[in-house]
Amino acid sequence: MWEKIRKIWKIKSLRKSVLFVLGMLVIFRLAAHIPIPGVDTEALGQFLAGNQILGLLNVFSGGTMENFSIVMLGIAPYITASIIFQLLTMVVPRLEELSKEGEAGQQKINMYTRLSTVPLAFLQAFAMIQLLTQSQNQIIPDLNTYKLITIMLTITAGTVFLMWIGELITEKNIGNGISLLIFAGIVSALPGVVQRAVLNYTSSDLYTYGLFIAIAIATVVGVVVISEGQRNIPVSYAKQIRGNKTYGGSNTHLPLRVNMAGVIPIIFAISVILFPPMIAQFFVAGTGWFATLSQGVVSLFNNQIFYGAVYFILVFGFTYFYTAVIFHPQKIAENLQRQGGFIPGIRPGKQTEEYLGHTMSRIIFIGASFLALIAVLPLLLRAVTGTQSLVIGGTSLLIVVSVAIETAKQIDAQIEVHEYDRM
């Protein structure tokens, strides 16, 4: 590791890129602690502590919501817009054509994504403010139309600011900017978790802390294995004779990743599972049967068993769904046949398509089960230990480890390019 750090520091361009990225992350964390004026942050903290749904969003955003900072929404609206356009690309012919136009088409889709982020951030800011005003804690006292619009515009500007920072980081080619912002938000919560664990430690908690460390290590190892795991399908290319020369005849492989969907299924599942209770929160303070129904929905989703079961099923199902969206056995089989490639023992064409689909469905079962288990891991640990001070965020660990692996790979690639240029 120290040798790699030394190489990074010796390469001037890479050193500047790393320092720039670190500087941008520092700016992000500084912005996360700039609160919007006129908000009772103490009352907000008490409200989030008693609300499991919003507490989850606060942890995922790195505490920006608890501070009611100018970047309280994080880059969630941008992620939502990206997911929407990723799905629309599969069903809208015009967007599908753009995605096939290479870099120029992708730039247009990125532009549409950025433009869509602004109204999404504005609407999410309005929904969040309305939800907070429903509480009895007087989080935003004396809220009028002018103050409402000002807060919404500030929050929207904060999201656009983070989106811009994320793109600047991505341009340095040492990691995805959006992923690194999420990474920084999650890691920034670690000192607080450690501090609470130390302050609340007693001799009777030795078994619980030991179990926590063991599960944390096992989770990290599992995330690395699943993230890097792949099934290599052997592919052979037939020899072609043109004149006196022979072309082809090589053997290679087609990698099928165990976790092809990444963390997208978990993000989908969180969006779906948070929607019913958040909508119900708006009507809890009313009267009549609808208020009673809304309170029942909130209570149902606060039930740990129901919440965990639904969360597990959604993550498992979305993993299969998203893999089906991005993995096309028919196109792969056609490309192999067009290039003269074939899987040994499998006929080109329809049989190759069926073989790839069947193989992928078996591989993805492992990835879907792992993602679903990682998602509900905090709930399982809480049920076993009965403690709130130590909760492993399986999703957080998955994101942190995945981003660290991807960033390390990109840095290694830049180091290799630099050493190759020197030869």
Which residues neighbour 166 within 8 Å (Cβ) at sequence distance 6 or greater? 75, 78, 176, 177, 178, 180, 181
Question: In degrees rounded to 5, what are phi and psi of residue 35?
Answer: -80, 155
Long-range contacts of 384-389 (CB under 8 A, 24+ apart): 384/211, 385/208, 385/211, 385/212, 387/205, 387/208, 389/196, 389/197, 389/200
Q: Give the chain's end-to-end CA distance (angstroms, integer).
A: 23
Q: What is the pLDDT of residues 71-87, one digit of tens each?
A: 888 888 887 788 788 77
Task: Report the relative pairing of strands 341-342 and 230-237 from DSSP bridges.
Answer: antiparallel
Residue 222, CB half-sphere, CA atoms under 13 Å: how many?
A: 18
The CA distance from 117 to 111, in Å, is: 10
Residue 324 confidence (pLDDT): 81
Question: In degrees rounded to 5, what are phi and psi of residue 246?
Answer: -110, 130
Q: Please compute the mean of the pLDDT values over residues 187-215 and round it to a whole number.
A: 73
Residue 157 confidence (pLDDT): 92
Q: Please compute the mean of the pLDDT values over residues 273-277 and round it to a whole number.
A: 75
The CA distance from 179 to 326, in Å, is: 20
- Whether residue 167 is predicted with pLDDT greater than 80 in this model: the reply is yes
CB–CB of 133/87 below 8 Å? no
Q: What percentage of the chain carries pLDDT values higher than 90?
A: 4
Question: In degrees rounded to 5, what are phi and psi of residue 287?
Answer: -130, 165
Kindly list the structural domains of the chain, giving each domain's residue range(s) and its CATH number in brackets, ordered by start: 1-188 (1.10.3370.10), 196-392 (1.10.3370.10)
- Whether residue 161 is predicted with pLDDT greater than 90 in this model: the reply is yes
CA separation, residue 136 to residues 17, 99, 174 (Å): 47, 48, 46
Question: In degrees rounded to 5, what are phi and psi of residue 236?
Answer: -115, 145
Q: What is the pLDDT of residues 23-49, one digit of tens each?
A: 999 999 888 888 887 777 777 766 766
Which residue, among 124, 33, 36, has the nearest Cα to 79 in the 3D structure? 124
Residue 160 confidence (pLDDT): 92
CA separation, residue 109 to residues 77, 165, 262, 327 (Å): 16, 19, 21, 20
Q: What is the pLDDT of residues 85-144, one digit of tens each?
A: 877 887 788 887 887 777 788 788 888 889 999 998 888 888 778 777 765 556 777 778
**What's the token pair of residue 26?**
């520092």
